[in-house]
Structures are given as structure tokens and as C-alpha cells.
Copies of this chain bind each other. A is one copy, B any other.
Amino acid sequence: MTFHTHSLDNGLQIIGETNPSARSVALGFFVRTGARDETAEVSGVTHFLEHMVFKGTPHRSALDVNRDFDRIGANYNAFTSEENTVFYAAVLPEYVPQAVDILADILRPSLRVEDFDMEKNVIIEEIGMYDDQPMWSAYDHAKRIYFGEHPLGNSILGTADSIRALKRDQMHAYFERRYVAQNIQVTFAGNFDWERFVALIEKRCGDWSSGAVGRQAVRETPGSGSFRVLTRAKVSQEHVLLISSAPPADSPMRYAADTLALVLGDDSGSRLYWALVDPGLADSADTSFHEYEGTGSVLTSFSCEPGQAEENLAIVHQLLHDVQEKGITQEELQQAKSKIGSRVVRAGERPMGRMQAIGMSWTYLHDYRSVDDELKAFDAVTLPDIRALLDRYPVDQLTTVALGPLETLAPPGQNGKR
């Protein structure tokens, strides 16, 4: 595998990992913009715009976009996060020129008013759908409560009100500001010629406008430390989320943070699994590390019968407190490394996995990481690294949010007060 990188005159960046033994190609347009880059007035515009990108251009109707992708057998999609909007496709090598043609075309969408008005309803339905998923809803609230006024607390979907109030011209202004060439990176991985790829992108994207782009509030945050109970009578299970601080995406400590999260709350064989899931005290329980530009978080969540929530919360507190005090064992570290190694290798076996990995690595580090670089970095994590991580980012300094039928929930060690 060989890695390449190139910048067009307008600032658009191109990166690629060529792999002659692969049989397909995955390519993605990474736009460095997300919910954190929105003001309150346009909350949800990034995600709504992601939808509008598939609604057509001066050269293609929405139908054409669908048909043209289908014609080349493309597996295509897009996603919006707090910091990125990514449009991607996987195709056979012979269809890369068409895939570039479609993706580059739709990334300059018409944003027609009729389509905008129609799609509004789709977005509002999607918001309603997520409202019906209590864990998602709890996560959205928990982020807001943890981050407080920090823009990483912004909702990705926005609210039905913010979407209803949004005007096509506001979206257009946002597009003009954020979808400039300097803010976009095109990534591919798989079996395709690098020079040819650059020529295809240059031809289609070379005239895209430039412009300065920034990002507000790139700073660490320890979280609000709040304890909140959000009562939802119609929800049957109680959903509890606990968030502590963690290193940002460009920190060398990210490998230790990922490893620690796995030991704490992987979906099998973790401390949380043995404490809550295996004995049947919770339906699900999970810990994950989330990394952003400037900051990060460790999120532990579980859902259970409402009557079990208080005991479970005490168990989780004790578990996190133990790890904070005593760290983890050499055996746990070793098991986590086996799991991570296996996952890194398997994710890297497909061009789609490599495209997403190198695209994200370039976005956050401006650095290329091969599968072996990643394996080495995880393999180098030691117990003292875990200790240093815990000292800097304590896992027992928590912001807690519960969503479900309960009206009150006593924080552990507070004798029933809240």
C-alpha cells in the first residue's frame, strides 16, 4: 500500500492509499463542518444540508442522482457528526470516474426551494423518530448538559422548531461559507491509480471557490458536573448516561483512552459487562471514547428496569471509582489489546474501512496512519500510560443524565438527596 497527498490551488486536499491487491475502491468527500459550527438560529442546518445534497444539481434531478449511483452499482451514503459531514461511495475500480463525477456534482447542490420545503418534512419526521428512541434522546440531552455553552453540545438534528424556522437562504449562506475548497478533503482507498484520481478531482473540483474557514471554541472542557433526571412517563426503561472528560483527537493519549474504554465497557467481557449485563441487572451497558477537535469524552451508559436504576448507578460509581484509584490489571490491558488488534486489522481489510480511517486521521492529525502504525500505537500502551490518563482525565468526575419514567434518582453517596 502506498500513501499519497496533494493540494489543489484552491486549497482542496486529496489523499489516497493505493492497494493493488484490493478489488474495489472507496472514496469520500470530507467536509469539515458539523453541528458545532452552527449558531442557534440555524440549529440542524448541517444535517439538513447533507440531505439536500442528494436532491439534485443543475445537471441532475434527485431521481438522476439515485439512478446514476445505481447504474454503477455504488454502495453510497453520507453522515453528519458534530464536526464532519462525509459523503462516500464504494465501487468497482472501473466506475471510479463516474463515482467522482456524481459526488463532485452533488457537492454543488441547487438547493431548490421546492425540494427544501419537501425535505423539511422528512427531517422533522426523522427528529420525531429519534425522539422515540430514548437512548438517542438521552444522549442528545446529555451532550448538551455536559458541554453547557460549548458548541460541541449542539444537537446534530436540531429541533422541529429550528428546522421549521430555517429558510433556504440561510442554508445557502451556510453552504457558501462552509463548503469552500479549503474545508474539503477528498480521500480514496483501494485499487486505483493515484495520478488518475488527482486528475479526475482537479477537473471536477478545481474551480470550487475558496474562502477562509475557522472553528470556534476549540478548547478542552471538564464538563458541567451536573446530575439531571429527565422524566418521560411514556418511556418504559430508565436510561442513564455518565460522561467524564477525555483527551482530544490529536492527543497521543487517545490510544490509552480507547483502550481504557474497552476495559471499562466493551459489549463483552468488560468490567461493566460482568457487573451489569451478565447478572441481568441491565439490558445493555456500554462505555465508549469520543474524540473531538480540542477535547474528548468518555461516555458510560446503561438501560434497565426503573426500579433497578439506583442500585446500578451505585455499582457503576463504585466501578469507576475503583478504576480511578487502582487502575486496571495487566491481564485486562492484554485482553483489550487483543480485541483492538483484531478490530483494527479487520476494519482495515476493506477499502471502505481504510478510506474512513485515513480520512479521519488526516482531518484531525494531518498525518497518515497505516494499519501497522495503528497497531503499534495501541500495542505501546502501558499501565503507566493508563495511570497518566486517569490522573489527567478522572473517570469518576461525572456529569450524569437519566431519562425515563423515574421522577427522582439519588446520586450515590448522597443519602437520597439530589
Which A residues have a C-beta under 8 Å from some C-beta of B?
A: 21-24, 63, 66-67, 69-75, 90-92, 95, 268-269, 278, 334-335, 337-343, 345-346, 348-352, 371
How many copies are assembled?
A: 2
- Asked if A345 contacts B24 (CB within 8 A), the reply is yes
Chain B residue contacts of A22, Cβ below 8 A = 349
Q: How far is the CA of A338 from the CA of B99 in the complex (A)?
A: 13
Q: How far is the CA of A90 from the CA of B22 in the complex (A)?
A: 20
- Asked if A90 contacts B338 (CB within 8 A), the reply is no
- Picked from B66, B95, B342, the residue with its CB within 8 Å of the CB of A91 is B342
Q: Provide the main secondary structure of the chain A interface.
A: helix
Chain B residue contacts of A21, Cβ below 8 A = 21
Q: How far is the CA of A149 from the CA of B340 in the complex (A)?
A: 48
Taking CB as reference atom, which chain B residue is nearest A72? B338
Chain B residue contacts of A339, Cβ below 8 A = 70, 73
Q: How far is the CA of A345 from the CA of B69 in the complex (A)?
A: 17
- Asked if A70 contacts B345 (CB within 8 A), the reply is no
Q: How far is the CA of A24 from the CA of B91 in the complex (A)?
A: 23
Q: How far is the CA of A269 from the CA of B74 in the complex (A)?
A: 11
A24-B349, A350-B349 known; A342-B67 Cβ under 8 A: no
Would you list 25 pairs from A and B whose C-beta atoms are within 8 A, ordered by A residue? A22-B349, A23-B346, A23-B348, A23-B349, A23-B371, A24-B345, A63-B278, A66-B268, A67-B269, A70-B268, A70-B269, A70-B335, A71-B334, A71-B335, A71-B338, A72-B338, A73-B341, A74-B342, A92-B341, A92-B345, A95-B342, A346-B350, A346-B352, A349-B351, A350-B350
Q: How far is the CA of A385 from the CA of B185 in the complex (A)?
A: 45
- Asked if B346 contacts A75 (CB within 8 A), the reply is yes
Q: How far is the CA of A349 from the CA of B91 in the complex (A)?
A: 13
Taking CB as reference atom, which chain B residue is nearest A336? B73
